[in-house]
Structure 1
């Protein structure tokens, strides 16, 4: 029987009272099961962290000695036990090392998706979706009007711009995906990487992911070459350069508000859209769907009288 209190939202984050651990806590806790290394899911100051090897490496890169007192590195599909709860990681397809977390207790399976995507992405592990009794899904873009276009077709838009491009990206996951896509579909472009993003590119290389050609940003070389140079920068840097002249401004995101005021829209998202969520529900075949990280009301309305949808 599904336990409605198997997971509960606390100020510290999502808590499993039956296993006495947190999933993607927002502050340091004793036992943290971490789905992936984005800062809104992986924080410093935990005592024990359970995660994939790549997630550990990013946390240690960013947080140094404060990352955790101990790491328990878990491979995909490897089952382990934490305080009586059986846990298995499955590739989430969001960024490298990102995991869906399958929790098993008293014969019931609860699948926490974390952030995930169905679109193909050669820079990370391809999504694998197990079946479960309860699907706990992110609902960032859970709106029937939201449909993410093909990333392959979106990136080709850059070929319509000859001038240099200031391209805003999130430094972990998106920047590496964009680098690989530019190398594949925009061969005339040269990729320059912001100094804060470059170490993550190097980590991807260490973990066997070939992103293609790129170089650490050099202000002089970018000024000397006035065409076909793409400068990948984090959001804060992108905003600070809004007044820069002689470059086209582009931001890679699924959010409409991040496209406004730019010279070109680039709708490339690392999250599921509405159709992807419905596809995931069909694959998981759950008895219940619980929603997180967004608005689950549209899913509640869609599945009314068909499937119970609970908004956590």
Structure 2
């Protein structure tokens, strides 16, 4: 039987009272189930953290001793219980170590997606979607107007630019995916990475993920080579280089506003688009869809005659 209050929004984050735990809490809590290592989902200061092995290592890299008092590492499909709720992680396809959280209680199955994607990505585990009675889905791009293009076609656009490129990327997940794509589809390009991204690349390598060739950026190497060098930089650094000359400016993102003013659009997203969400619903076969992390109104209107929908 589905509990309408199985998950509720609180100041600390999304809370399950039946299991006394939070999903990706926004403030420090006693029991935190973390879907993946991005900073808006994996925050410091929690007492007990339940996560995948990579998420733990990234949190330790970022937060050091403040990452958590204790980690409980769980593999995919490994069942564990928090009070009266049975949980298991399923690959979310978002970044390395990202997990959807399947929760079972009183005969009902609830699937919290966290962030997820269905596009191919050699740098993370492929998404697996279990059946569930309730789908709790992110709705970042839950708009019928949004259709993410094929990442291979997008990355090949870089081959048309011979000058050096300043390529804005998010440092975790996107940077590693872009590095792998450039190595595979842009053979004349050389990848240099910002010092803040370099240790994350190295962590991917330690987890035996092949992201291809790359080097730590140094100013001299790009000055001496005026063509076919790509420098991956985080958003804040990208914004500070607005007056850079002799280089092309590109930003890899699904957001249209981040393409404005650049020399080339590069629509590569690590989230599901509208059709992907509908495909997810068809696979999971929920009787209810709950939305969060974005605008769920389009889904609510679209599904109103088919599936009960709630915006968390």
Return the TM-score normalized by structure 2.
Answer: 1.00
Q: Distance in 1 between matches of 2:84 and 2:241?
A: 51
Give the drift of 1:72: 0.2
1:33 corresponding residue in structure 2: 33
Match of 1:4 in 2: 4
The Cα of 1:306 is off from its aligned counterpart by 1.1
For the pair 1:301 / 2:298, whether they are aligned, the reply is no
Q: Would you say how many aligned residue pairs link Structure 1 and Structure 2?
A: 312
1:74-113 equivalences under 5 Å are 74-113=74-113
- Provide the secondary structure at the position in 2 that maps to 1:262: coil
Partner SS for 2:81: strand
Give the drift of 1:250.
Answer: 0.2
Q: Does 1:48 align with 2:48?
A: yes
Q: Does 1:145 align with 2:145?
A: yes
Question: How far is the alpha carbon of 1:91 from its aligned partner?
Answer: 0.2
Measured in 1, the distance between the counterparts of 2:108 and 2:266 equals 41
Q: Distance in 2 between matches of 1:105 and 1:307?
A: 21
Shift of 1:41: 0.1
- Residue 69 of structure 1 aligns with which residue? 69
Match of 1:212 in 2: 212
Cα separation, 2, equivalents of 1:303 and 1:77: 29
Deviation at 1:272, TM superposition (A): 0.1
Deviation at residue 148 of structure 1 after TM alignment = 0.1
Distance in 2 (alpha carbons) for counterparts of 1:274 and 1:306: 17
Q: Deviations over 1:245-275 (max 9, x none)?
A: 0100000000000000000000000000000
Q: For the residues of structure 1 that align with 2:294 and 2:131, how far apart are their CA atoms? A: 23
- Give 3-state SS (helix, strand or coil) of 2:294's partner: coil
Deviation at 1:97, TM superposition (A): 0.0
Gaps of 5+ in 1: none
For 1:90 and 1:291, how far apart are their aligned partners in 2?
Answer: 19
Deviations 1:103-162 (A, max 9, x none): 000110000000000000000000000000000000000000000000010000000000
Instruction: Tell me the distance in 1 between the aligned counterparts of 2:181 and 2:17.
Output: 42
The aligned counterpart of 1:20 is 20
Give the Cα separation in 2 of the matches to 1:42 and 1:155.
Answer: 29
Provide the residue aligned with 1:288 in structure 2.
288
- TM-score norm. by structure 1 comes to 1.00
Deviation at 1:83, TM superposition (A): 1.2
4+ long deviations beyond 3 Å: none
Runs of 5+ in structure 2 lacking a partner?
Answer: none
Indicate the residue corresponding to 2:229 in structure 1.
Answer: 229
Alignment partners' CA distance in 2, 1:261 and 1:32: 40
CA distance in 2, matches of 1:46, 1:283: 34
3-state SS, counterpart of residue 293 of structure 1: strand
